[in-house]
Amino acid sequence: MRQVNIMMRIFVLLAIAIGFSQCSSTKKEKSTSEAPAFNLEEAQNLMTTNCFACHGPAEPGKRIAPPMANVRMHYLEGDISREDFVKHVSTFVTQPAVEKSKMPGAIEKFNLMPAMGFSEEMISKIALAIYETPEDSPIWNRFPSAHEDQDQTPLEKGRQMALSTKTQLGKNLMGAIKSKGTLGAVKFCNVRALPLTDSMATVHNAAITRVSDKPRNSGNQANQTELKHIETFKQMVATGMEMKPIMEEANGKVDFYMPILTNNMCLQCHGAPEEQILPTTIARLDSLYPGDKARGYGENEVRGIWSIHWEEETAP
């Protein structure tokens, strides 16, 4: 009888062990099957579409950010693992800060980039594209053209329109600052910003504007719909939510809105008077914009939004 009991206990223990083993195996298989597959070509397209507007090829002296190949080189220093590389890049891009960067020289030269509002998944894919793409790949010299959007989703297309227009404005603004300082930037914005934005709207065949609840130029006053979206983006910043563009589609028409966030460079003209904005700049702003409301901002605040509208092409 005692031998029977012992045999029964051994049988039960074996059954439990086998059960746990099968459960563990099932969990592993499930985890593996649910893990999203990484597609390098897809990730590279995300990188070039969303990052190369600022980090792509540019003429010497006209860069507004370090080229992505240089970013890769700095973040790959040492024997860094794939996981740690993605972690370092994601941590910085999610919430840029000087102490998180491995490129202090680039920040000194180009200023700290603003938070872009990309999703965690998107940032991870872009980081993997940077890591996995070889140093000698021709992709580092690729710059997406304005017409390279045939296969993009409306969300990707809107983001590309905003980023490419921002790039054109940024290149010219940096040139004005380097040649004539902050006063040169004020003059550029007053004379050249609107025509450049209009030219990019023509290139993209869309209506592209920058609007704000506190405009410098009264022509950039946001309408009621845009004011509502500005408040939504402000709430996202205040609560630490992921900054996603807002898109509305109806009857073949697309309305796209993306936040414009302040960085250190912006505060030279949009920061606190007498602190970030110099008296000479204040005098120039007062003369050019008597009703100026675009002052008193801090870093990483919503200064306005890109408001972009276009009609989707329909197949014949």
Domain parsing of the chain, residue ranges:
40-141, 154-311
What's the count of helices (H) and strands (E) in the chain, helices before strands?
Answer: 11, 4
For residue 217, the model assigns a pLDDT of 92
Q: What CA–CA distances, in Å, run from 157 to 60, 149, 163, 164? A: 28, 6, 10, 10
Phi and psi (nearest 5°) for 274?
Answer: 75, -10
Token pair of 191, please? Answer: 């004379």
The reported pLDDT for the residue numbered 20 is 40
pLDDT at 224: 97
Determine the pLDDT at residue 37: 67
CA 126/CA 116 separation, integer angstroms: 13
- What pLDDT is attached to residue 62? 64
pLDDT computed for residue 15 by the predictor: 46
pTM for the model: 0.65
Q: Which two tokens stand for residue 125?
A: 């894919």
N-to-C CA span, the chain: 85
- Name the strand (E) or helix (H) holding 137: none
Classify domain 40-141 by CATH number: 1.10.760.10
Which residues does residue 206 pair with via DSSP β-bridges, in sequence order?
A: none
**pLDDT value at position 21?**
43
The whole-number mean pLDDT for each consecutive block of 10 residues of the chain, a chain of 316 residues, reads 48 44 40 57 84 74 80 86 92 86 85 74 92 91 56 83 82 76 85 86 91 95 97 93 90 94 87 92 94 93 96 66
313 dihedral zone (left: phi>0; alpha: psi -120 to 50; beta): beta
Cite the beta strand spans of the chain per DSSP E. 207-211, 246-250, 253-261, 302-311
Residue (of 248, 245, 256) closest to 302 by Cα position? 245
